[in-house]
Amino acid sequence: MIHTTSPVAWVTKGGVKVIIGDHNAKVGKTDLKNDICGKFGLGDINEKVEDFIEFCSTNNLVIANTLFRHHPRHLYTWISPDKRTRNQIDYIVLNHKWKSCIKNARTKPNADCNSDHQLLTIDFQIRLKKMERPTPPLKLDYKTLDNNYRIAVANKFELLNQCDDSKTPNELWEEGEEILLITAKETIAKKKKTNSPWISEETISEIETRRRLKSKGINNPAEEVIYKNQNAKIQRLLRRDKEKYLNEQCERIENCYINKTIKELYQGVRNITRKFKPKIDTIKTEDGLVLCDGKEVKDRWRQYCSNLYKKNEDLTITPTRLNDSDEPPPLRDEVRKAIR
């Protein structure tokens, strides 16, 4: 029997609290409907049920295997050694928030558990919230930026300057931002996804060949051998290309060191030693919940920064008063030391 609520407190606020075990309490069958147990228990209550019900009430838990009508053989969870007494003392309890996700709860008497307790199961179906994917940022190839962008922006801003003064600064800013983005989409080409710079054209061609072999399907041992040989060939080519790329970068770094081009030197070292760092677009609330939506993340950052730089009215600042008396003249030893 559980007499402490500390394990329940370990679960996060949005998590599912499920407690399964032998509680030695008999809830019994009752016609009273409440938020803790259902009407389809088995037998009569005993003296330990009060602690169990109080525990469930304190932690807002519901007893799952009393919610559904079943034959008594699918309700009892323990059988005595003489096979004459059957009781319902094992329970599955979980927080009331997830009660609607419980589809069924019953025992499986035919399960070979090698125990005097019966296998207790629950059908639980979670309906997850559908997360909308944020719109990916527009990536443009600024190497294709030419004079057409400048001319198009100048023409559209000239029309914007001719508008009346009734618009607020925020409205003018939003229109200006929209002009810049639309013009960039019309005049600047999108950045194309490129492969790793060290992979050669020959290796890419062999990878395409392996992809075609995989798409056709591997139906016999001979095709499997061909696919494995092609995969081994690609691995050899990748190792060769990687080694060639590293040697070229090292030679480039040595030339930068000889020519004293420090910026290119450190840039080359960073390109070789740089490790993959995943981009994290999530943030946690004060309660520990993870936010994934872009607008919610921005609002959370705004709240955090406003609290961080908020003026503390309770803080009393005592101004420091400078001593009005004149400083003593310097010593001769101090003058000699300063001159030296």
One domain, residues 146 and 256: no
3-state secondary structure of 225: helix
Question: Are residues 206 and 156 part of one domain?
Answer: no
Expressed as residue numbers, the domain containing 251 is: 201-273
Q: Confirm whether 208 is domain-assigned.
A: yes
Number of domains in the chain: 4
Query: 153 near 180, Cβ under 8 Å?
Result: yes
Q: Measured at the alpha carbon of residue 49, what is the angle toward residues 44 and 52, in degrees to the nearest 5?
A: 145
Is the same domain home to 108 and 152? no
Cα(330)–Cα(340) distance, integer angstroms: 15
- The answer to whether residues 227 and 153 belong to one domain is no
**Measuring CA to CA, which residue among 302, 295, 276 is closest to residue 135?**
295
Nearest CA among 76, 93, 103, 89 for reference residue 36 = 93
Residue 96 forms part of a structural domain: yes
DSSP symbols for 84-126? --EE--EEEEEEGGGGGGEEEEEEETTS--SSSBPEEEEEE--
Bridge-based pairing state of the strands 102-108 and 61-63: unpaired
> What CATH number is given to the structural domain containing 108?
3.60.10.10
Q: Does one domain contain both 170 and 241?
A: no
Please give the model's pTM, rounded to 2 decimal places. 0.42
CA distance 202 to 236: 12
Q: Are residues 116 and 23 in the same domain?
A: yes
On whether residue 332 sits in a domain, the answer given is no
Assess if residue 330 is contained within a domain. no
Predicted confidence (pLDDT) per residue in 86-102, tens digit: 999 999 999 888 888 89
Q: Do 175 and 221 belong to one domain?
A: no
Per residue, the 3-state secondary structure of 228-250, as one string, reads HHHHHHHHHHHHHHHHHHHHHHH
pLDDT tens track for 30-85? 776 678 888 888 888 888 888 888 888 888 899 999 999 999 989 999 988 888 88
- Kindly state whether residues 165 and 225 are assigned to the same domain: no
* Residue 152's pLDDT band (cuts 50, 70, 90): confident
Does residue 337 lie within any of the structural domains? Answer: no
